Amino acid sequence: MCSLCGVLGVDDHWSDAVARPGVFSRNEEPLRRRAERTRRIRAANDVLRAYRLTLSDWHGRSYVLATATGKTEIIENLAHLWPAAERLSGRLFDPLDPDLLVRLEAQA
């Protein structure tokens, strides 16, 4: 399957809260969902910056992960972020690495 077909057919991920009958979500309105998605991307980029990677939104449905040298990968949701980051960078990732957390705290 081409990546475009895969993106168009993707179901909502649990991290992308949407209004569903019988389910409470503070992100029922499209503008609020978009703002929450932007906050998640910003938080991911805080971690990815240490590895010279960036994450960006792709039409509100997927994400584009990119290296500093221009390699990119489209990922469907944040569950695919760390494996994709490892593939693109050729390095192992631990977003809970104590040294990384110390650096992130120092930046805050």
Residue 46 to residue 59: CA distance in whole angstroms: 21
* Mean pLDDT over the full length of the chain: 81
How confident is the model at residue 20, as a pLDDT? Answer: 55
pLDDT above 70 covers what percent of the chain?
74
* Burial class for 91, CB neighbours closer than 10 Å (0-12, 13-18, 19+): exposed
How many helices (H) and strands (E) are present in the chain, helices listed first? 4, 3
Parallel, antiparallel, or unpaired for β 53-58 and 72-75?
unpaired
* DSSP SS3 for 29: coil
Overall average pLDDT of the 38-52 stretch: 92
Q: Which of the 8 DSSP states describes residue 20?
A: B
Of 8-17, 30-39, 59-68, 99-108, the range with the lowest mean pLDDT is 8-17
Overall average pLDDT of the 3-18 stretch: 52
Could you tell me the residue range of the domain that residue 9 belongs to?
Answer: 3-107
Contact 91, 51 (CB under 8 A): yes
Domain count, the chain: 1
Q: Look up residue 45 and give its amino acid.
A: N
